[in-house]
Chain A
Amino acid sequence: MSTLDWTIATGLLIALIVAAVYLGRLNKSVADFILAGRKVRKYLGMSSGTAEGLGLASIAASLQQGMQNGFALIWISIILMCYTVPVFGLIGFGIKRFRATLCMTIPQFLDQRYDPRLRLLVGVILALSGILNMAIFPITSSYFLVAFSGLPEVFTWGAWTFDTVHVCMIALVVLAVLFTFLGGMVTVVVTDYIQATIVVSAMLFVGIMTLTELGPSLIHRTLTDEIGEAAFNPFLRGSYGLTWIVWVFLLTTVNKLAFAPAVQKMASADSPETARKMELLQSIFGMGMRIFLLLIGIGALVSLGGVPAGETAESYFRFAGAIHLRETLPVVLMGLVFAAFLFASLSTDDSYLLAWSAVIVNDIVQPLFKKPFSPKAHIRIMRGFIVLIGLFIIGFGLTYDPQESILDYMYMTGTLIGGIGIAVFMGLYWSKATTAGAVSGIITCAVIPLADLFGKQIVGDRYPLTTQQSGLLALISAVVVLVVVSWLTGRGRVAPGWVDYGVEVKRLDAEEKGAR
């Protein structure tokens, strides 16, 4: 990267830090710090949600998908959209009711609906799985940024020699901690909006540039020669079957109300109706972004070609997108795209830091004390945990071995929370769901994927289920176990903590229509 590129990237970063410092002064309460005072409207919430979901790891994965499978992923996204748009975007299934509870976190709702002890259990599971899940992001983003910028693997400063990837990773974590520490959700939501605007503009520009420079006919010829018909048809390679589709539908549903950073964004909406609209816009917007990222990945395939002899597909495709961009982007655009990649990493990390520190303080630490913290002490303790999580992630990144399978790691840490989403949905829609049922469902959903992961390590291919079958079995079993145990323990009676939030949603919707 040239000096001008570094200047552009640094200038944008400084502007963002100045904005974060200013916004940090607006916080007056815990609700401001965790949920931006529940005043986030649809476009801002949607931009912020996009930035949170569009991490550098997702960008790298989409570029890789484009190189390996062409446009095939588009059809999978369309199939998913046919489900998510009507269910969540138009009806607001689960989303509107959860927003109407006014809960800040998932464990708070489980405490309110089921039992205070469930809050602690779920808080611990969510925080552990979430922090381990996010710990991998800064180090993988750092590898990508170093490959993109063309920085040397090591550099010396005086008598010391430093690993560039590690230094870059520490800088990413420190910046994410800084944004979250300064102003909580107000800063996160506003800086995410700015970051999303820069990231999306840069990717749009690069996507259009790829299309105009290479031309549609060369792109089509390369896709046909390198990948064949599978570049357009995801079902040709046989990796996506009915089991996979049903599993992904169920997983998408339960994770809507299990993944704390996304739930926190939803809870910060100014009404249940806004939360629904944010979800609708985000589903459609995410699809458009994916098209441009796949196009850039395909551009990399056209200019770099397939896997060279002596290299594995995994190692080649992981950074080929970054190398292609480094070699083709002109000065100025290079600086802008570097800033976009940096912001993509930061916007995901700061949202996650805030969500997991909120879960730790609100659902694990605060319930241990009889008296509620004062607002100032509450925010101070949250800031302390934000720093501690940051330190843990740095420690993790410094010792992380990139040889292990990232997908397996994400799978193990991510699927642990599926049962929590089921307990939340059942708690919102079924008056007879009991605490015993919820606990049984959560445990069932965690045990089956863990058995799959460890079982495959022990017996290898002799394990009787595929990953998809285990995932689907876990979710279906969790629902069945929750229903059966609730019937047995509650004997068909309405559970004590039941509140019909459907009524509250109707009242708030009517109020909003009246205000218009």
Chain B
Amino acid sequence: MGNEEAVFFSRLLTELTLSFHIIYATIGVGVPLMIMIAQWVGIKKNDEHYILLARRWARGFVITVAVGVVTGTAIGMQLSLLWPNFMELAGQVIALPLFMETFAFFFEAIFLGIYLYTWDRFDNQKKHMLLLVPVAIGASFSAVFITMVNAFMNAPKGFDLVDGNLVNIQPLAAMFNPAMPTKVAHVVVTAYMTAAFVLAAIAAFRLLKGSDHVYHKKALYLTMKLGLIFSIGAAVIGDFSGKYLAEYQPEKLAAAEWHFETEGKAPLMMYGVLDGQEVKYAIKIPYALSILAHSNPTAEVIGLNDFPEDEIPPLYVHYLFDTMVTIGVLMILISGVFWLGRHLGWRFIQSRWFCWLLVAGGPLSIIAIEMGWWYAEVGRQPWILRGIMKVPEAATTSGQVDTMLYLFALLYLVLGVGSVIVLRRMFRRNPVEREIADREQARIEEERVKGGDLS
């Protein structure tokens, strides 16, 4: 296997691993906050349905964490095995958040274990909910630290490059690089958004399948409301990301928008096809790219023709970017209409077709996450460390990467199918209606025993 093949298979394996991991990682980051909010509502309103929501979500969450641990470990291993030159160089500067991510995970895992095994040990539910605080913080900070590493790849800072060597290394400056705030905030808020819409999709599916229990209605209303809040947050932070890109990675923004000539009053291109440097059949939104880049409709936006040809990202990133934005806007609209419809008593939001739209919102959000990450990674090409190291320079020269690819693909297939089977069985064998009846029975029994003790 030549070096070109090794680079190709290394890229393919990394893409496969990240694409698979990001599904579980996103749910793993977002769901703890949803559990915490559900338990908080249950305590505040003294409503058993919300407490049960938290309990059931927590059980499902454990499965996604277990798979996320395996794929996360695979990423750590592949970073060293597939990209040894990158790790040798960048590891000197950015190893700190990589280690901190591990500690954030341990922090989350330890308290998650205590949280799960102490559900009925606390008389005061508030004290039990406090155990979720470190779980949610640990999950979110795992995302914060690992995204700091990715941000560093886009905007490397915190060192001087002298004769190919890194000197004057400042790990904190590397962590708080210019790409960090927009990237970290966008990743975390979209994880919350996706978790909310995935949980909403499950509730909508149960309603579609004939369960009319108020538990599902409360779950749907809560998750759609949270989805609306976090999707608006994602759109606002996405706008800030446009400003960051225009300033620090203008070629990435220009590639996403097929913006070739540097000019003011730049339009935003939605969809379309590219014929040479001519954009056909696109929806052009006048001034919108200038506003996205600089908050000014007449501001100049740097075009792709200002960059060397071999430093321009693949132009198909336009479709990745458009898919992400389209789904994001669609989810704001769907959740906004649902929320308004619930308040104003619109009948159609209870129709089957609208319910199917809510079900589709879960997978669509995950597709948006995938598109966003592919855009983030492909849009950085040809660099692995922008301006310093290109992807082929970083890759291994091993001849066995293709074998690794097949074995890991098999592993992900087993994990993916296995986790779906386990989740389905877990919830099918213990439907909500039965669990509510069991808990009510247990509560009556407990009160009877307490009453007996008193007498």
Question: Are A and B associated in one complex?
Answer: no
Interface residues of B (CB under 8 A from A): none
